[in-house]
Each structure stands twice: as C-alpha cells, then as structure tokens.
Structure 1
C-alpha cells in the first residue's frame, strides 16, 4: 500500500505477497522473525488464521503448515477452545537465527531506507498533530500515556504505546496520514501492523515513556518543530531493536 501511495505502483515485492522460496518457508520465517524482534511477545496469541491469510495474502493450508512448524520447534503452543489459538512460548530458539537471516539480510538496504523514511513521516505526523490537536485528542493521549507508565508488563506497555501513537495520528485530522503511518509500520514489521518491542527491556520502556511525555508536552503546547524532532528521534527505538536482532544473528554466524 505504501508503494501505491508514494509511487503509484504495485506493492513492494520484498514485503508484498509471499512468492520467494516456498510460501510455507517464507511465512514461517516471517513469523519467527516477527517473534524474535518482539512484534509478538511471550504469552501473546498470534493473529488468528483468518487474519494471517489476509495480512500475508497466502492460503489457509500455507498458514496452517507454517504454524505447525513453529509449534514443532517450540516457539508457539496451540491452545484449543473458544479462546484458543497459537500462543508464543519463547522469542528465540535455534530456528530463529536462520529465519532472521533469510528474512532480514536480503532486504537490509531497504529496511534502512524504511527506517529513515519512517522517521521523516512520523516527524511530520507529530508536527501536524501539534498544529491541529483538539482537547479530546489531548485527553486520549493523556489516558494512553498514563496506561503506558503504569503498565504491569511488556504486553500492556505495547498496547498502551500503540494507543498513544494512534491518538497522535488521530489529532492530524487526516485519515490518509494515518494510513501512510500504518503502512510504514507494516513494512518494517514484516507484514504485521505491530510495533517491534524487543524483549521488553526496561531501558527501552523508560526511554519510550520519557519520549511520550515530551511528545505529549510539545503537542499540547502547540510546538510543531519540537514535536517533529522528538518523534523522529523516538522512532529510532524500533529500528534499533531490529538492528540488535540482526547483530545477534551475525555474532553467532560460523566464521
């Protein structure tokens, strides 16, 4: 979608429909990598089968076989029943390194370009929010910020982080800006509209909280230039998490 918005062309083949190698290989590697970078955290349920089919544009048998592979290597467990599904057990296994290499290394130049573009776009989003915010937008930001700072665990913090940034996007009063921001997130997150969360380290949590407070202050006081600078710096957190995962893989590669 971002390709169509910016270039008027077809979706990027790198992060578009799965076509390289076998579809099952690609889907399982994307899921393993997404879990490794923290798109989905331990204890969290993966998107249901129907959502994965829509997000990755593959068939039901492909999704089922890919999930079965993740279960076989111990990354997820399958729970039955009304609230069942595939739940993340561990963010990293012996299979994760190979998946990260297959998924990230061939596209790394594009990822660095996307990180740069995302900083520019999110800076624009924050600046626009600072110019157009209304009282109800600021209330939503305050609620999400309070939920983030009081979050008992990484999954709750991740949800509050998403709510905070959604309230900033809403404050732009332009749905197309929201779509552009979401499409960039999808591309850096391997097809999933979820912010990478690393391993939930407290350092990242603290930095995110300080950035959220500063960003809220700039938007509330109507300072677009300051809001833009804060947002551009803030979104390097996700990029650094993905870089850290790739660095981990390179460090354990055989010499």
Structure 2
C-alpha cells in the first residue's frame, strides 16, 4: 500500500492530476496501478487524512485533489521517480521516436478537412485556460495528429508505451504550478510550428518538431526529482 500511496502522491506532484481535479473511480485507479481495489481505497483514505485529497458526497461527488505538492510529498516523489528513472528515460526516448514517426506520416497523409480541424484544435489550445483545460486541449490536438497518420499499429504501440511511463494516470503530466505558465507558452510555440509543418506536408520537419516537443515530459520529471532532493542520473545512450 505504501508504494501505491507514493505513486498517487507523485502523480499529483508532476501534474498528472491537477489541483481541483477529480480522480477516477477506485475501480479505474486499481486497473491503472495494477493493484486490488481495496489497496487503492486504503491509499486514498490515507491521503485524505494527510489533507492531500478530499472526498465530496452527493451528486458530482468523488475524490478531488486539494493540493499538488505539500512538504510531505517530497520523500514519496523522490523515491518513486528514482526507482523508475532508467526505465523512464528509455521509454521516453521510444515515445519521442514514435511521435516523430506519426507526425511525419500525418504530414504525408493529412486531408484538407483534417488540416482545418487540426488548426481548430490549435486555436482551442491557445484559448484554453491554464492548467486542466490546456492539458485536455493538448491531448485532443495530439490525438488529431495521430489520427491523421492512419497507422493503428503505431497508435497502439504509442499508447502502450505512454501507459508505461505514466505514474498513475492516463493524462500527460503538466508540471508544478510555479512553472506551468512558462511550460504552456513553450508548448504553444511548439504546437504552432508542428501544426504548420503537418498541414503543409513537411514530413521531415514535422517529425523533428514532434520528437523535440515530447521531451518536455522528461524535463518536467527531472524538475520534480530535483525538487524532491534527488539528482537524475543521465543515461549515456540518451544525452
């Protein structure tokens, strides 16, 4: 149960679940974490007692994030990320390569209607509020690029790898509140270049931008490790 609690705390700290977000039901969390439902229930209860989460009753109720990174989180975050770090680097490298391949394929295959829809997704990302709304708009934009690539094998492989790098959520991490605005501005610039390359059919450029862009995730995890008092160890294979 301690490991499950650590993973949930880390998922909050790195922004897989943002403040005020409702966590998935216990059954879904148990599947995501690969543990029994009773184990998830116990871990959630302990986090409610710690003031990290809160439970709301009635219509629209559930378990919600109260705070992203209280002082008590640092030990859990450092322990969780350090244990997974070598695997995170290798998996993140594979994810970046797949995103590049999918973006290049999308640039070669995108239809005018799909290009117009992708530009709409970019506008939606620009206009979304900071935090959860932008996190959701980001996911929709990237799904549109993946769909335009029309390759179910690559899509499935990417989903499998992203599930492996996830701490405890199906959502991409979004970082800590203090660096969020800067990260979102950088993501906006990357999205603008990426969408233009895809829509214009510039496959090589689209692939390069996509590979670079998804590196933001690893940088956010590195920042979390440093904040937790751990120094990420560089893998010589992935400088």
TM-score between the two structures when normalised by the length of structure 2 = 0.91
Matched residues in 2 for 1:144 and 1:50: separation? 31
Deviations 1:54-87 (A, max 9, x none): 2222222111101111111111111111211111
TM superposition shift of 1:115: 2.0
1:210 paired with 2:189, answer yes
Give the match for residue 236 of structure 1. Answer: 215
SS at match of 1:39: coil
Unaligned ranges ≥5, structure 2: 232-239
2:51 alignment partner, SS class: coil
Shift in Å at residue 191 of structure 1?
4.3
Asked whether 1:35 is paired with 2:19, we answer: no
Q: Which residue of structure 2 aligns with residue 166 of structure 1? A: 143
Tell me, in whole angstroms, the C-alpha distance in 1 between the residues paired with 2:218 and 2:193: 20
Q: Does 1:78 align with 2:39?
A: no
Could you say which structure has the greater relative contact order, defined with CA pairs below 8 angstroms and 6 or more residues apart? 2
1:249 correspondence with 2:228? yes
Cross-structure match for 2:234: none
Match of 1:119 in 2: 96
Task: Report the Cα offset of residue 135 of structure 1.
Answer: 2.6
Question: Superposition RMSD on alpha carbons, in Å?
Answer: 1.5
Pair 1:140 & 2:117 matched: yes
Mean Cα deviation higher: 232-241 or 111-120: 111-120
Q: Is 1:129 aligned to 2:98, yes or no?
A: no
- What is the SS of the residue equivalent to 1:196? coil
Q: Which runs of 4+ in 1 moved over 6 A?
A: none
Deviations 1:145-204 (A, max 9, x none): 111101122111000000000001101112222222222222222242211100252111
* SS of residue in 1 equivalent to 2:55: strand
3-state DSSP of counterpart to 2:169: coil
2:163 aligns to what? 186
1:29-68 to structure 2, matched below 5 A, reads: 29-68=6-45
- 2:201 counterpart residue number: 222
Cα separation, 2, equivalents of 1:168 and 1:138: 9
Q: Is the CA contact 1:76–1:88 (under 8 Å) kept in the aligned structure 2?
A: yes
TM-score, normalised to structure 1, is: 0.85
